[in-house]
Amino acid sequence: MSKTAKKVDKTDTMVDTQVAEKPATVANSAEESKDITVEAKLYALYSLQQIDSQVDKIRIVRGELPLEVQDLEDELEGMITRITNLAEEVEQFQQQITEKKNLIEECKVLIKKYESQQNNVRNNREFDSLSKEIEYQNLEIQLAEKRIREHSIQIDAKNELIGQSQKVVDDRKEDLQQKKDELDDIIRETEKEEQDLISSSQRNEHIIEPRLLTAYKRIRKNARNGLAVVSVERDACGGCFNKIPPQRQLDIRMRRKVIVCEYCGRILVDPEMAQNAAK
């Protein structure tokens, strides 16, 4: 046996001693006061585990949907923000187009003014100067028209993106509403069942002594599947599937003390008790 296995055995033996081999102290005092046998406690523990497992299943199904709803809401928020930003960019381009059109009109007015002044020049130098101003204004018009075409192309591209994004948003809104309706239905359907199960769980807890109940909750919290009480299946622990020695299986069937798995620390019950408790 490896050092790790030896360490596990030693630890589990200590757990077993703490949970199962104190008949003269806390366990017996609780039994004497409540007149409850170890067998009854084991039944209560296994029943408690079955009830808590059903509650877990309900919460798992319900727990996935809120996450999906939250993801869809986050995605929608991001896409709506993107559409808003695209719309702002379109508005900016439209403003720039308006500015360029105003500039073109101003240039045309100046061109007419300079052409009129050319008819009254006194020398060639003044004529050439006005000609350069007219040429400059024509260049300004050409540049402004170029910018208008560029901005128009950009507006068309942005509007296309807005349309595509809006379609996705509409689809996501439908998905979100379906998920919300589904979640509401599950909550309505399972709320009473969950409350009934919780009430049954609390009734079973009253039968179990506090020390044993604390151990059950601790094991259940640390177990990945939430199983703190398992039955022996095919000569192995129903939780970790490690083999259980024949003598230990006999002790489990005797139901005279609470026995835990030497490997995973789960509380063990015999198959017959598990079948009877499940009925």
Distance, in Å, from the CA atom of 41 to the CA atom of 22, rounded to the nearest integer, reads 15
| Stretch 3-13: mean pLDDT | 36
Q: pLDDT by residue (tens digit) across 59-114?
A: 777 777 788 888 999 999 999 999 999 999 999 999 999 999 999 999 999 999 99
Q: What is the band of 7 on the pLDDT scale with cuts at 50, 70, 90?
A: very low
Q: pLDDT by residue (tens digit) across 12-41?
A: 333 333 333 333 333 333 333 346 788 888
